[in-house]
Amino acid sequence: MIVDLENINKIYNQESIPVNVLNNVSLRVDKGDYIAIMGPSGSGKTTLMNIIGCLDVATTGKYLLDGEDVSKATDNRMSDIRNQKIGFVFQQFHLLPKLTAIENVALPLLYRDVSKAKRMAIAGEALEKVGLGDRKKFLPNQLSGGQCQRVAIARAMVGNPLLLLADEPTGALDTKAGEQIMELFKKLNDEGATIIMITHEPKIAECAKKIYHIRDGNLQEELK
C-alpha cells in the first residue's frame, strides 16, 4: 500500500472560529492505482492533496505513506519525503523561466546531490519518454502549454517517485492538449506509476480507474 489515510481531519481557525475542512477522511491507495478526486471549489480537495503531498499536516488522524507515519515527521523529513517519494504536477506548470526544459526536469536530482552529468542524462531520458527529446534546450516561453506540462510531468517522474500527484493538470490547456496529457498519464500508469489526480472535469476524471467525490470535507468513492 502506498497511501493509507485514516480518519483525517483538518481544522482551520477563521477569526477564532474553528472550521473543519476535512471530516474523518479515509483513503487507501495501492501501487499502480490511478485515482481521480472531484469536488467543487471549497470542498476540501486541495487541502486533501496538500496533506497527501506532505505540504500540510492533518489536525487529527493518521497518514502512512509507504508504511511510514508522516503525521509525526519533522519538517526536514517531510522535505525529504517530497523530494524522494512524491512527484507533483500543477495546473500552472511552475517551470523556472530562465532554465531550459532539461534543466527544469533535472532540478529534483540536483536536490539529491546527483552529479551534473548523471542528472542531465537522466533528465534527457525523461524528456524522451514524454515526447520532447527534441526540445531539451528550449526555454518555457518557447514551448506550448501542452509541451510545458509535459516538461512538468517529466520533472515529476524523473526521480521515480512512489506517487504522482496531479492538481488540475489540464486546467490551463486546450482540449486537444488536455487529451494528450491524459494519454500520457495512462501510459505512465500502464507502466506502473501510481497517480492521484484532482480535477473538476468529469471527462478528465473518467480517465482514472477510480473516482472519488469530496464535498464539505467528506470523501466518497463513486461506484462504477
pLDDT at 19 over 90: no
42: alpha, beta or left? (left if phi > 0; alpha if psi -120 to 50) = left
Lowest mean pLDDT segment, chosen from 41-45, 63-67, 149-153, 189-193: 41-45
Question: What 3-state class would DSSP assign to 34?
Answer: strand
pLDDT at 224 over 60: no
3-14 and 17-29 as β-strands: parallel, antiparallel, unpaired? Answer: antiparallel
**Integer angstrom CA distances of residue 21 from 18, 49, 73, 168:** 9, 12, 22, 20
Type of residue found at 185:
F
Higher-scoring residue by pLDDT: 224, 70: 70
CA distance 3 to 89: 18
Average of per-residue pLDDT values in the chain: 94
Tens digits of residue pLDDT in 24-50: 999 999 999 999 999 888 889 999 999
Do 38 and 219 meet the contact criterion of CB atoms below 8 Å apart?
Answer: no
Instruction: Give pTM, 2 decimals.
Output: 0.93
Q: What is the pLDDT of residue 71?
A: 84
Do 164 and 193 meet the contact criterion of CB atoms below 8 Å apart?
Answer: yes
Q: What is the pLDDT of residue 14?
A: 80
Closest CA to 63 of 18, 20, 28, 11: 28
CA distance 182 to 196: 13
CA distance 185 to 166: 10
The mean pLDDT of 70-86, rounded to a whole number, is: 92
Tens digits of residue pLDDT in 110-167: 988 899 999 999 999 999 999 999 999 999 999 999 999 999 999 999 999 999 999 9
**Integer angstrom CA distances of residue 196 from 29, 72, 98, 156, 186:** 9, 23, 29, 13, 12
